[in-house]
Amino acid sequence: MSEQFRTESDSMGPMQVPANAYYGAQTARGVENFPISNLRFSRSFIRALTLIKKHAAITNQGMGYLKPETAKAIIQAAQEAADGKWDSEFVLDIFQTGSGTSTNMNANEVIANRAIELLGGKRGEKLVHPNDHVNRGQSSNDAIPTAIHVAALEGIEKRLIPALTELHAALDKKAKEFHDVLKIGRTHLQDATPIRLGQEFSGYASQVQHGIERLRAAEKNLGELALGGTAVGTGINTHPDFAKKTIESLAKETGLPLREAANHFEAQGGRDACVEASGALKTIAVGLIKIANDIRFLGSGPRLGLGELRLPSTQPGSSIMPGKVNPVMCEMLLQVCTQVLGNDAAITFGGSFGNFELNVMMPVIAHNLLESIELLSTASQVFARRCINGLEAVREKCKDNLELSLSNCTILAPVIGYDKAAKIAKIAFETNRTVRQVAEEISGLDKAKLNELLDPADQTAPAIMPPDHVTLSAG
């Protein structure tokens, strides 16, 4: 047993720690206390938290609070952790202390013990102390929310916005490619007036572009960091310049627009920026649900559905029905967006637990926010590449559906009157004929005039009806 474990102590007494672990007593205590789930903090969060430790050490050395050799070892150890070398040492469950103190100490202990090793010592000797050295100038109460903001901002800026930009470009390309495809529009799931398939796709592209703009707006408040507030926002036990210098250094490395919070009590008592960012993610998810649903319905069939789009065939669709191909990329995206909506509910409720000077739902907010960013990033990119890029218009089906629509009578109403146009639509429906066929019999318009009016291309943009074309029957 003595060969498998070492004994370390924290303020509550001795703890048995696995002999080869870089983490220490407080982490081991957290493992014992929180055997709740298999959920762990994400790679992006660990990177952000350990980069904070790295740049804190740089600042503390510059201020004379750390010896150069100690700072150098901490900086190297923290960089290794930020690069993912010690991810297996971050063993704590998401469902733990609401401040994330256990995970903050997990980072402190891993970095401290690795730094000790770099200095030639043995793990657990506290030649480098997790609190006195690695955590100097910080508290879990400002380091953890800072890590959430940095990780979220980096994920949005470097993963999600590029993925959405790729999806926007794919949709915009299809909007141009499909501009000449005339089809029936639909409202209330019923036939409406003609539209260009490219116009539909321009709407999808615009939704994605608006989502990117919403993320840009949310980035402003995510860039404001709690670091420097320490325990309750007053900055106790830290130098007044510590946060400013550390954040400037961190911003330079990450390339992110980071700054110290204007008010540390807001920055620690509330998680409003996270709720705001999640709201933007939720809105994007809602938009993507609309897009994915439209595409799978437009591609339904292939023979007995709408059948106006041909989706790429990516895999067999059934274990029992040979030849069946399903809109699996749309369904993947719908499931991702459903998860994002659920995550937003958790983040929103978590944001309401800003009790006095500290929000106590930070781990669950971090987990859900960063998961939403990662899911939307990956899913948007895959959807663009494996669905949107390969979409084809079924032009003949679009043309046939357009001619069969009863809403073709809409363009006749200003010329022959609403009531007469409605009568044509009713007769066409009851006799299973087209509006054109019935209008030739009872509209009073000659065939040339009907063909002019019923040209679908002319119906896809606003037009001024000449006065001599407009009925005066309504007074």
Rounded Cα distance between 116 and 138, Å, is 20
- Torsions phi, psi for 442 (to 5 deg): -125, 0
Across the range 13-30, mean pLDDT stands at: 97
Q: What is the pLDDT of residue 467?
A: 67
Count of CB atoms within 10 A of residue 446's CB? 10
Count of other CB atoms within 10 angstroms of residue 323: 7
Tell the CATH topology of 405-469.
Ribonucleotide Reductase Protein R1; domain 1 (1.10.40)
Which helix (DSSP H) or strand (DSSP E) does residue 393 occupy?
strand 392-393
- In the prediction, which pLDDT does 1 show? 44
pLDDT in tens, 46-89: 999 999 999 999 999 999 999 999 999 999 999 999 999 999 99
* Spatial distance between the Cα atoms of 119 and 71, rounded to a whole number of angstroms: 11
Which of 9, 37, 313, 318 is labelled catalytic?
Answer: 318
Q: Does the pLDDT at position 473 exceed 60?
A: no
> What does the alpha-carbon distance between residue 242 and residue 264 come to, in Å, rounded to a whole number?
14
Q: What is the pLDDT of residue 466?
A: 65
Chain-centre distance for alpha carbon 57: 32
On the question of pLDDT at 474 being above 50, the answer is no
pLDDT in tens, 267-279: 999 999 999 999 9
The pTM score is 0.95
Q: What is the pLDDT of residues 103-153, one digit of tens each?
A: 999 999 999 999 999 999 999 999 999 999 999 999 999 999 999 999 999
Q: In whole numbers, what is the pLDDT of the chain averaged over residues? A: 96
| Residue 317, pLDDT score | 87
Superfamily of domain 5-136: Fumarase/aspartase (N-terminal domain) (1.10.275.10)
Numbered ranges of CATH 1.10.275.10 in the chain: 5-136
The residue type of 276 is: E
Cα angle, residue 110 at apex, residues 106 and 116 outer, rounded to 5°: 145
Q: What is the pLDDT of residues 338-364, one digit of tens each?
A: 999 999 999 999 999 999 999 999 999
Q: Which residues contact 220 (CB under 8 A, 6 or more apart)?
A: none
Rounded Cα distance, 5 and 328, in Å: 49
For 196-224, the three-class secondary structure string (H helix, E strand, C coil) is EHHHHHHHHHHHHHHHHHHHHHHHHHHCE
pLDDT class of 453 with cuts at 50, 70, 90: very high
One-letter amino acid for residue 342 of the chain: G
- Reported as a single tens digit per residue, the pLDDT across 156-166 is 999 999 999 99
Query: What residue ranges of the chain are covered by domains with CATH 1.20.200.10?
Result: 142-395
* Residue 188 annotated to the active site: yes
What's the DSSP call for residue 97?
-
**What pLDDT was estimated at residue 471?**
59
318 belongs to the catalytic site: yes
Count of CB atoms within 10 A of residue 311's CB?
Answer: 23
Q: What fold characterizes domain 142-395?
A: Fumarase C; Chain A, domain 2 (1.20.200)
pLDDT at 2: 54
Q: List Cβ<8 Å contacts ≥24 apart for 33-36.
A: 33/96, 33/102, 34/92, 34/93, 34/95, 34/96, 34/102, 35/93, 36/93, 36/94, 36/95, 36/96
Q: Express each pLDDT in 399-433 by its tens digit.
A: 999 999 999 999 999 999 999 999 999 999 999 99
User: CA–CA distance from 277 to each of 44, 48, 185 (Å)?
Assistant: 16, 17, 34
Please state, in angstroms and rounded to a whole number, the distance separating the CA atoms of residues 404 and 409: 11
Q: Which 8-state DSSP code applies to residue 270? A: -
- Could you count the other beta carbons within 10 Å of the beta carbon of residue 137? 23
Taking only the tens place, the pLDDT of each residue in 277-321 is 999 999 999 999 999 999 999 999 989 999 999 999 998 888 889
Q: How far is the CA of 244 from the CAs of 45, 239, 241, 249, 250, in angstroms? A: 21, 10, 5, 9, 10
E-state strands within 43-175: none
How far apart are alpha carbons 458 and 452 in whole angstroms? 9
Question: Residue 239: is it exposed, middle or buried by C-beta count within 10 angstroms (0-12/13-18/19+)?
Answer: middle
Catalytic residue among 2, 11, 188, 319: 188
Q: Where in the chain is the domain with CATH 1.10.40.30?
A: 405-469
